[in-house]
Amino acid sequence: MVFGKFMPPFILIAVFHQPALATKKAYVVYMGAHSHGLEATSADLDQITTSHIQSLSSFLGSEEKARDALIHSYQRHINGFSAFLEEEEAAELARIARGSGVCVLESREEATHNTFMGVSDVGK
């Protein structure tokens, strides 16, 4: 079969389409407590974000990928960050971090339950 000068659009879509299984989810990576205490300077906070990006980039393979994946760097009360990762990436990160005190958790939105207040029938 001979194609003309232009590739049919459906072939381009098929070639560049990412599979649905490669969707990324938000994960929280908890790394324990900070060493800076309550009196952190802005330089301390910048260094924390830098260390989170370095940790993520060493795992993902580049600083650019780490910056793209990073959602938030927790700088004050906990030491950790949230990032968009594929399920396999999160599982591998958790496996590598096992035993070091680092915890990788999927970020989930929890539903609010008001049934204990007797307001479950409001609006009906």
**CB–CB of 73/48 below 8 Å?**
yes
**CB–CB of 27/90 below 8 Å?**
yes
- C-alpha distances out from residue 48 to 57, 72, 104, Å: 14, 11, 18
pTM attached to this predicted model: 0.67
Predicted pLDDT of residue 102: 87
The Cα–Cα gap between 99 and 8 comes to 52
Q: Is the pLDDT of residue 10 over 70?
A: no
Domain ranges, ordered by start, for the chain: 33-109
Backbone angles phi, psi at 70, to 5 degrees: -65, 125
Q: Give the 3-state secondary structure of residue 59.
A: helix
Q: Give the 3-state secondary structure of residue 27.
A: strand
Work out the pLDDT band at 9, boundaries 50, 70, 90: very low
